Copies of this chain bind each other. A is one copy, B any other.
Amino acid sequence: MYPTRLIEYEDASDEVRQVYDDIMATRKIDKVNNFWKALANHPVTLLRTWDSLKEVMSPGELDPLTKELIYIAVSVTNNCEYCIHSHTKAATKKGLSPQGFGELLAVIAMANETNRLANGYQVPVD
Using CB atoms and an 8 Å cutoff, list the residues of chain A in contact with chain B.
Answer: 1-4, 6, 33-35, 38-39, 41-42, 44-45, 48-49, 52-53, 55-57, 60-62, 66-67, 69-86, 88-89, 92, 97-126
Q: Which residues of B contact A114 (CB under 8 A)?
A: 35, 49, 53, 83, 109
A100's closest neighbor in chain B, by CB?
A: B61
Query: Which residue of chain B lies nearest to A63 when distances are taken between CB atoms in the complex?
Result: B66
Copies of this chain, count: 6
A81 to B122, CA, bound (A): 8
Is A83 a contact of B39 with CB atoms below 8 Å? no
Query: Which 7 residue pairs of A and B lie closest in terms of their CB atoms, listed nearest first?
Result: A42-B102, A113-B113, A74-B111, A61-B100, A73-B73, A38-B121, A105-B120
Query: How far is B125's CA from A85's CA once the two chains are assembled, in angstroms?
Result: 7
Q: Is the CB–CB distance between A70 and B107 below 8 Å?
A: yes
- Docked Cα-Cα span, A76 to B60, in Å, equals 21
Chain B residues in 8 Å Cβ range of A86: 125-126
Assuming the contacts A1-B98, A81-B125, A126-B34, asked whether A70 and B71 have C-beta atoms less than 8 A apart, the reply is no
> In the bound complex, what is the Cα–Cα distance between A114 and B74 (angstroms)?
10
